[in-house]
Amino acid sequence: MDAYPKAYLYARIVKAKLFIDMHFAEPIDVEAISGEACYSKFHFIREFRTIYGRTPREHLSHCRTERAKELLAEGAQALDACLAVGFNSLSSFSRSFKQATGSTPASFRKAALQRQAQGRTQPLAFVPDCFSGAHGWKAE
């Protein structure tokens, strides 16, 4: 029986959301997802947006951007990140990425790698005094 009101609805929407989370790099058709969730496309989008605050398509774009950020921070070139998250065009990827983050993939990558380099050479810069002091971690 339902553990709480509309448990069946949540199970379907969450399943669809997890499907996007796992398959965002593949060509995903929202209608196919709503079919998985046993909803009409309109009903599915409305319920999804009510729960997550974004439409399935916006969530798909969000997943792609977040993964691209991770790849760029690991040192991947923009084109590699673009292809890895399911974009076919570097220009559309760059446009989408900048719209979501405010940075171009290249500038995001550069900043992330600089931050990591600083983390290796000046780790203390990232730790509040109260924690570093408590652990006897002093600037050299």
Partner 1 sequence: MSIRLTHTCIYVLDQESALDFYVNKVGFKLHTDVKKGDFRWLTVTSPEQPELEISLMAVKESHAMDKATADTLAMLVRNGTFGFGSFQSRDVFAAYEEMHAKGVEFKAPPKKEFYGVSCNFKDDSGNWFSLSELHQAK
* Residues contributing to the site for partner 1 (CB under 8 A): 3-7, 10-11, 13-14, 17-18, 50-53, 66, 119-120, 123-124, 126-128, 131-132, 134-137
Q: Smallest gap, in angstroms, from Cβ of residue 96 to partner 1?
A: 17
Distance CA 108, CA 71 (A): 11
Q: Are 105 and 97 in contact (CB under 8 A)?
A: yes
Distance of CA 58 to the CA centre of its chain: 11
Residue whose CB is less far from partner 1, 42 or 131: 131
Residue whose CB is less far from partner 1, 7 or 79: 7
Q: Is the dihedral of CA 71, 72, 75, 80 positive or negative?
A: positive
Residue whose CB is less far from partner 1, 73 or 90: 73
